[in-house]
């Protein structure tokens, strides 16, 4: 016995000291390994001695937030010449795309989180983490004001102030209630791990309450009316998860009330999943109808009381009331108060969201970056800079542009104004020459010359191609990695700028602007059916997409630990079903 034990103990010790070995173990335990289609290797790196002792003070970088953007930034930061302080009320990173699965116990909350200290401790960069909430950014004095995250016992004044040289704001967003009365008090949200846990407890609670002996059937129906507000990916996925949970697991344990359950999905627009391909929307709506999920389109919530939700039909204006047992509110995101306050400080007064330039730097600041859900990139319009573009392109200062001059400036224009590239692509035009031809009629290529007015006319439609990036994990993660790569090459690119020409100023931009690369999006619809919209307009719906979903999510998880846990959660669910204990 003792001998066996020692072998096992040594093995487990080896595995813990060498995470890459343990990953082998996990892969080999997943039959075929196909579930782990790809994955980023992240071997532990040797410690490189930092340069703080040689007199040069390290630049202090303060990162606010440990979500997708902040964590991705920290993971990609490699330059040891920074002294990084991370401030967030959550000491872990959460793999939020699996949050809807947590609401019904398909996946356990702890399986999708990884302590931020674990993520950063093997890096050769000095990174300190404080579990605290930043409640004020002082941009003028380069300070952030913080307080401990958990209310509780603490000697004296526990608040503290941190100085920074660079500030990376990645605090995410809060749920947007559109100031609808009663939402804050009566609805569940689905943004944090705690929200998902609360929803899970509430679902079980509703079933237990509906089973109590002295209720009328009317009351039972009311308690078992689950309402989801918002037909976006989160709301739809939660509705699907809940339907599966009820029909696969709860009906067995609560046979007497199973006929009384009703799931309703309210959407103000005409369709659910309206950011997806039309085929997906149609399939999803059809599946939900077959599943008995009540879809109410064009229905706007005007008030939520403690037991009923009032909706207004957008077309008819008719107001109706829907009794409910639980409401989940998932209608999009709003700006956090601390960001609103910060926006006032930096003069972004009439905006709803914090604006950055294409390099993720907050507009009107010089050392503050913002990424993820808490900010949007305010793309520069071509038409705003049209005179400067014309002047730069017109190298011989002739007052007219030739095709040759144009073509030489084209790369820089496309890099600085991505809408230009999109415009060319969408109009299926291979070069700017085609644009010129279009505006000047069918004349010989060489003889085209444009004056400034012609130029404006030719590009008048370009800016219609601009659109804001969606508030997704994918965008936030890419922004974090992008910003870290800038930080990694800060000095190098100071000397040799790699960005496009400055049309308004002189010289070049230090870095290339951030470009989002869309890798596709999933919409799990329940019953092992998933819709996937992949790049190149490729749409896939059904069980094969569900397996693609399993593989991609398993591979994208942040650590081998979470990967192993999530896969074992899925396996457990297949074998034993979901747990319905009220904890």
> Is 577 among the residues that bind its own copies (CB under 8 A)?
yes
Task: Select 95 or 423, whichever has its Cβ closest to its own copies.
Answer: 95
Q: Residue 86: in which H helix or E strand, if any?
A: strand 82-88
SS (H, E, C) 90-104: CCEEECHHHHHHHHC
State the Cα–Cα distance between residues 81 and 27, nearest whole angstrom.
36
Q: For residues 359 and 547, which CB has a smaller minimum distance to its own copies in the complex?
A: 547
Q: Does 558 bind its own copies (CB under 8 A)?
A: no
- Please tell me whether residue 582 binds its own copies under the rule CB under 8 A: yes
Does position 254 bind its own copies by CB under 8 A? yes
Q: Least distance in Å: CB of 166 to its own copies? A: 18
**Strand order in 521-526's β-sheet?**
521-526, 529-534, 538-542
Among 470, 498, 461, 274, residue whose Cα is nearest residue 377: 470
> CA-to-CA distance for 377 and 360, rounded, in angstroms?
7
Q: Is 47 an interacting residue with respect to its own copies (CB under 8 A)?
A: no
Nearer to its own copies, 496 or 581 (CB): 581
- CB nearer to its own copies: give 128 or 351: 128
* Interactions with its own copies, residue window 198-217 (CB under 8 A): 204-205, 208-209, 211-215
Name 84's bridge partners: 61, 127
The CB-of-227 to its own copies minimum distance in angstroms stands at 13
Question: Could you say which of 40, 54, 185, 306 contacts its own copies (CB under 8 A)?
Answer: 306
Number of continuous H segments (helices) and E segments (strands) in the chain: 21, 25
When binding is defined by CB under 8 A, the residue of 73, 82, 92, 245 that contacts its own copies is 92
The residue range among 72-80, 158-166, 439-447, 476-484 that interacts with its own copies, by the rule CB under 8 A, is: 158-166
SS3 content of the chain, % helix, strand, coil (to 5): 45, 20, 35
Q: How far, CA to CA in Å, does 63 sit from each of 164, 189, 317, 390, 504?
A: 9, 25, 46, 39, 31
The interface with its own copies within residues 182-201 (CB under 8 A) comprises 193-194, 197
User: Any contact of residue 38 with its own copies (CB under 8 A)?
Assistant: no
Q: Is 449 in the site for its own copies (CB under 8 A)?
A: no
Which part of the chain contacts its own copies (CB under 8 A), choosing from 56-64, 363-371, 498-506, 539-547? 539-547
- Minimum gap (Å) between residue 226 Cβ and its own copies: 14
When binding is defined by CB under 8 A, the residue of 118, 345, 376, 485 that contacts its own copies is: 118
* Smallest separation, CB 5 to its own copies (Å): 5
Residues 255-294 within binding reach of its own copies (CB under 8 A): none
For 326, list phi and psi in degrees, rounded to 5: -150, 135
Nearer CB in complex with its own copies: 15/422 = 15
Contact assessment for residue 532 and residue 540, using Cβ atoms and an 8 Å cutoff? yes
**Cα–Cα distance for residue pair 62/160, rounded to 1 Å:** 14
Q: Kindly list the distances between the CA atom of residue 426 and the CA atoms of 381, 408, 420, 429, 461, in Å, as whole numbers in the listed order.
A: 18, 22, 10, 8, 12
> In whole angstroms, what is the distance from residue 138 CA to residue 145 CA?
8
**Of positions 41, 349, 444, 583, contacts its own copies by CB under 8 A:** 583
47 neighbors 142 (Cβ within 8 angstroms): no
Q: How far is the CB of 161 from its own copies (least distance, A)?
A: 8
Among the listed ranges 246-254, 283-291, 351-359, 400-408, the one in contact with its own copies (CB under 8 A) is 246-254
Q: Which stretch binds its own copies (CB under 8 A): 85-93, 232-240, 258-266, 360-368?
A: 85-93
Nearby residues of 312 by Cβ (< 8 Å), 6 or more positions away: 299, 300, 301, 302, 318, 319
Establish if 158 lies at the interface with its own copies (CB under 8 A).
yes
544 contributes a contact to its own copies by CB under 8 A: yes
Residue 22 found at the interface with its own copies (CB under 8 A): yes
If one asks whether residue 60 binds its own copies (CB under 8 A), the answer comes out as no
Q: How far is the CB of 523 from its own copies (least distance, A)?
A: 19
Rule CB under 8 A: is residue 5 a binding residue for its own copies? yes
Q: Which is nearer to its own copies, 55 or 156 (CB)?
A: 156
C-alpha angle 495-497-499 in degrees, rounded to nearest 5? 170
Residue 572 as a binder of its own copies (CB under 8 A): the answer is yes
Residue 131: in which H helix or E strand, if any?
A: strand 126-138
The closest of 470, 528, 532 to 101, measured between CA atoms, is 528
Any contact of residue 580 with its own copies (CB under 8 A)?
yes
Please identify, using beta-carbon distances, which residue of 114 and 394 lies nearer to its own copies: 114
380 is a site residue for its own copies (CB under 8 A): no
Contact region for its own copies (CB under 8 A) — 52-60, 152-160, 432-440, 532-540? Answer: 152-160
Residue 9 touches its own copies, criterion: CB under 8 A? yes
Across 418-435, b (16+ Cβ under 10 Å) vs e yields: bbbbbbbeeeeeeebeeb
Give the Cβ contact number of residue 577 at 10 Å: 16
Report angle CA 396, 358, 511 to the nearest 5 degrees: 70
- Does position 152 interact with its own copies (CB under 8 A)? The reply is yes
Instruction: Report the alpha-carbon distance of residue 539 to residue 544 in Å, rounded.
Output: 12
Q: Which of 75, 90, 287, 437 binds its own copies (CB under 8 A)?
A: 90
Tokens of 501: 């020409």
∠ CA 157-162-163, nearest 5°, is 145
Give the count of beta carbons closer than 10 Å to the beta carbon of residue 71.
27
Shortest distance in whole angstroms from residue 61 CB to its own copies: 15
Chain residues 311-350 in contact with its own copies, contact rule CB under 8 A: 325
**By CB under 8 A, residue 117 contacts its own copies:** yes
Judged by beta carbon, residue 393 or residue 564, the one nearer its own copies is 564
Q: Which is nearer to its own copies, 72 or 419 (CB)?
A: 72
Is the Cβ–Cβ distance between 119 and 74 less than 8 Å?
Answer: yes
With CB under 8 A as the contact rule, the residue among 114, 133, 241, 285 that binds its own copies is 114
Q: Which of 244, 405 has the CB closer to its own copies?
A: 244
To its own copies, the closest distance from the beta carbon of 137 in angstroms equals 17
Q: How many residues interact with its own copies (rule CB under 8 A)?
A: 78
């Amino acid at each position: 016995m003792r001998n066996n034990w020692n072998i096992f103990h040594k093995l487990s010790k080896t595995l813990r000291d060498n995470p890459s070995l343990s990953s082998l173990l996990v892969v080999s335990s997943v039959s075929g390994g196909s579930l782990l289609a790809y994955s980023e290797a992240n071997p532990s790196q040797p410690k490189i001695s930092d340069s703080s002792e040689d007199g040069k003070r390290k630049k202090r970088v303060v990162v606010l937030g440990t979500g997708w953007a902040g964590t991705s930034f920290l993971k990609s930061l490699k330059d040891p010449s920074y002294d990084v302080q991370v401030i967030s009320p959550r000491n872990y990173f959460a793999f939020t795309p699996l949050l809807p699965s947590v609401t019904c116990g398909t996946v356990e909350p702890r399986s999708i989180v990884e302590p931020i200290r674990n993520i950063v401790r093997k890096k050769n960069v000095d990174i300190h983490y404080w579990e605290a909430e930043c409640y004020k950014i002082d941009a003028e004095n380069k300070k952030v004001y913080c307080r401990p995250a958990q209310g509780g016992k603490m000697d004296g004044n526990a608040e503290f102030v941190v100085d920074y040289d660079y500030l990376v704001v990645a605090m995410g967003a809060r749920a947007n209630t559109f100031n609808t009365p009663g939402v804050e008090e009566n609805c569940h949200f689905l943004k944090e791990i705690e929200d998902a846990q609360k929803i899970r407890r509430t679902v079980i609670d509703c079933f237990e309450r509906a089973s109590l002996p002295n209720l009328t059937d009317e009351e039972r129906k009311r308690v078992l009316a689950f309402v989801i507000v918002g037909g976006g990916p989160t709301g739809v996925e939660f509705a699907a998860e809940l339907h599966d949970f009820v029909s696969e697991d709860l009906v067995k344990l609560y046979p007497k009330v199973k006929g009384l359950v009703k799931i309703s999905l309210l959407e103000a627009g005409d369709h659910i999943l309206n950011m997806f391909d039309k085929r997906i929307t149609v399939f999803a709506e059809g599946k939900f109808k077959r599943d008995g999920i009540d879809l109410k389109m064009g229905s706007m919530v005007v008030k939520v009381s403690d037991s009923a939700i009032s909706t207004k039909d957008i077309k008819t204006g008719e107001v109706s009331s829907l009794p409910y047992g639980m409401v989940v509110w998932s209608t999009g995101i709003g700006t956090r108060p601390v960001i609103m306050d910060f926006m006032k400080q930096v003069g972004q007064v009439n905006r709803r969201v914090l604006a950055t330039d294409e390099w993720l730097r907050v507009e009107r600041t010089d050392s503050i970056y913002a990424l993820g859900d808490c900010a949007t990139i305010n793309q520069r319009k071509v038409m705003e800079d049209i005179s400067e573009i014309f002047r730069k392109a017109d190298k011989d200062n002739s007052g007219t542009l030739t095709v040759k001059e144009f073509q030489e400036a084209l790369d820089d224009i496309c890099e600085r104004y991505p809408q230009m590239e999109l415009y060319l692509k969408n109009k299926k035009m291979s070069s700017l020459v085609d644009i010129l031809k279009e505006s000047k009629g069918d004349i010989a290529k060489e003889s085209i010359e444009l004056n400034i007015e012609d130029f404006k006319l030719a590009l008048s439609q370009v800016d219609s191609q601009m659109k804001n990036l969606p508030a997704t994990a994918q965008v936030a993660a890419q922004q974090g990695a992008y910003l870290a790569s800038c930080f990694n090459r800060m000095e190098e690119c100071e000397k040799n700028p790699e960005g496009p020409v400055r049309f308004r100023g002189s010289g070049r931009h230090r870095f290339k602007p951030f470009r989002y690369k869309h890798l596709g999006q999933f919409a799990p619809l329940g019953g092992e059916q998933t819709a996937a919209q992949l790049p190149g307009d490729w749409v896939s719906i059904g069980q094969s997409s569900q397996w693609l979903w399993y593989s991609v999510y398993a591979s994208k998880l942040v650590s081998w630990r979470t990967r192993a846990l999530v896969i074992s959660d899925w396996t457990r669910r297949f074998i034993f079903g979901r747990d319905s204990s009220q904890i």
